[in-house]
C-alpha cells in the first residue's frame, strides 16, 4: 500500500488514534530485542581472549 493509500484510510487512522500504532511499537520492540540478542550472542570475545593468551610474552 502506498503512502497516499494510507492517508485515504480513515478507519485505519482512527484505529491508530484510539489504539496506538501497534506496527510501529512492534517494530521498536523487535529492533531492541535484536540489539539485545546481538550483545548476548557475541562470539567474538572468546576468540579475542584466546588470541591474547597465545601471544608470546
- According to the model, what pLDDT value does residue 1 have? 47
Asked if residue 6 lies in contact with residue 12, where contact means CB atoms within 8 angstroms, the answer is yes
- According to the model, what pLDDT value does residue 41 have? 80
Tell me the per-residue pLDDT of 9-57, one tens digit each, with 9 for 90 and over. 889 899 899 999 999 999 999 999 999 998 888 666 555 555 555 555 5
- According to the model, what pLDDT value does residue 48 have? 54
Domain residue spans in the chain?
Answer: 21-57
- According to the model, what pLDDT value does residue 47 have? 56
On whether the pTM is more than 0.95, the answer is no
**Cα–Cα distance, 30 to 4 (Å, whole number):** 26
Spell out the residues 6+ positions from residue 38 whose beta carbon is closer than 8 angstroms to its own: none
- According to the model, what pLDDT value does residue 19 have? 92
Amino acid at each position: 500500500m502506498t503512502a497516499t493509500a494510507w492517508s485515504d484510510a480513515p478507519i485505519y487512522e482512527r484505529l491508530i488514534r484510539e489504539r496506538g500504532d501497534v506496527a510501529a511499537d512492534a517494530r521498536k520492540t523487535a529492533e531492541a530485542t535484536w540489539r539485545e540478542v546481538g550483545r548476548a550472542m557475541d562470539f567474538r570475545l572468546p576468540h579475542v581472549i584466546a588470541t591474547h593468551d597465545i601471544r608470546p610474552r
